[in-house]
Amino acid sequence: MKTLIIHARMVSPDVEIAGASLLLEQDRIVAVFGPDETLPVADQVIDAAGRWVLPGFFDIHCHGADGHDVCDNSLDAVRHIAMRKLQEGVTTWLPTTLTQPQAKLEEIAGKCAQYIAHPEFCRAPGLHVEGPFINRKNAGAQNPEFVRPPNFNELKRIHDRAPVCIVSLAPDIDGADDVIRQASALGIVSSAAHTSSTAARIFEAKQAGLTHLTHFCNAMTPVHHREIGVVGAGLLDDSLKIEVICDTIHLCPDMLRLVFKLVPVERLMMITDSMAASWIDQGEVMLGGLEVIVKDGKAVLKEGGALAGSALLYNEGVRNVAQITGLPLHQIVKTTSWNQAQSLGLDGFGKLEPGFFADIVILDADFSVWKTLVGGQVR
């Protein structure tokens, strides 16, 4: 079947075309037309009516949505989260786990594997395993009861149940480099998280294969003029890719502006780090067995008040970045899909070009989602 998207304000990395049209056949983009070109006949026509047409978003760090959590250990929960992510314009999502007992993580991976095999909403190529190999002192909203030393065999058992795309761990804990090396050999991306690492330790872990920094600035050593910490390493090192939560809570607007000014957009990856609090205005939810209070778009632990993931919707994060930084969308879209796809080695994603998968989000002027297509199909 051929689908034609017309009257699009098409945006792809380094490209913006007003009045563009895109021809989709099966699950791929087969042609892009300028405003004055003759258009082919198609079986279905979608009139974007001047709306923004972008590559579908990649949320590589998301625990849950709308009262559901990946760690609920339920296929229905995973399906519900995937449905909500699709409504945010997310076409590829990594179900993200928390610090939990090993047996439960393996069970959760089994539930996720069922969705990965039959994705009804957004795609899910694999998992993001956040913890349990973190520094207890930097646990944040992770459950310290289940924190344990890095152990590749534990990670491998999860990977055997469902592909692990990313593991977030603390490089300052003994044994982390060994896990990073072995994970890299399997094609698993390693990311520094919940850590008291110095900048030097991050640079050493890079030699073992570390390539990412998880939820930048949060639960990691900050910049100091005598020790620049993990944050300083992220600002300084040109090879590290950086996850950024753009809810204006985890990073205030000025910090977002600073990060987007100092760090090339080619290294930034927008995430939500959302949990069950997203899509919920007020109330109480659970995160990895810990009680969380949601109020005015902010989720905090009931005990201690630590930030407990976010309540952010992906498209709202894109709007925040556009408004705060003033960057053009053809630069911002590098941080919403292209960089993530490149980092994970997923070819054919993140651009609107012939040959690429027809994973597309269509946004209204206020960044609300009008339609989302996965593999050329409106879902």
Residue 160, pLDDT > 80, answer yes
Do 172 and 290 lie in one domain? The reply is yes
Do 236 and 358 lie in one domain? The reply is no
**In which band, very low, low, confident or very high, does the pLDDT at 368 lie, cut at 50, 70 and 90?**
very high
Do 37 and 106 lie in one domain? The reply is no
Nearest to 301 by CA among 57, 10, 98, 28: 98
Tokens of 247: 């809810």
Say whether 281 is catalytic: no
Is the previous residue joined to 150 through a cis bond, with omega within 30 degrees of 0? no
Do 193 and 301 lie in one domain? The reply is yes
The total of structural domains in the chain comes to 2
Nearest to 25 by CA among 51, 1, 53: 1
Do 137 and 38 lie in one domain? The reply is no
Do 64 and 50 lie in one domain? The reply is no
Nearest to 358 by CA among 6, 55, 2: 55
Contact in structure between 272 and 335 (CB atoms under 8 Å): no
3-state secondary structure of 336: helix
Note the pLDDT of residue 305.
Answer: 80
Nearest to 271 by CA among 311, 305, 244, 234: 244
Residue 287, pLDDT > 90, answer no
Do 17 and 124 lie in one domain? The reply is no
Q: What value does the mean pLDDT of the chain take? A: 96
Q: What's the domain range around 11?
A: 2-54+352-378
CATH number at residue 64: 3.20.20.140
Catalytic choice (72, 172, 247, 273): 273
Do 269 and 289 lie in one domain? The reply is yes
Taking CA atoms, 99 is separated from 82, 147, 287, in Å, by 21, 6, 10
**In which band, very low, low, confident or very high, does the pLDDT at 360 lie, cut at 50, 70 and 90?**
very high
Do 34 and 86 lie in one domain? The reply is no
* Mean pLDDT along residues 185-198: 98
3-state secondary structure of 333: helix
CA separation for the pair 113, 198 (Å, rounded): 36
Residue 288, pLDDT > 80, answer no
Tokens of 225: 């003029």
pTM: 0.96
Do 37 and 102 lie in one domain? The reply is no
CA separation for the pair 125, 103 (Å, rounded): 22
CATH number at residue 364: 2.30.40.10
Do 322 and 277 lie in one domain? The reply is yes
Do 241 and 264 lie in one domain? The reply is yes
Query: pLDDT over 70 for what percent of the chain?
Result: 100
Residue 289, pLDDT > 80, answer no
Range from 30-34, 138-142, 259-263 carrying the lowest mean pLDDT: 138-142
Alpha-carbon torsion (337, 339, 340, 346), positive or negative: positive
3-state secondary structure of 111: helix
Residue 184, pLDDT > 90, answer yes
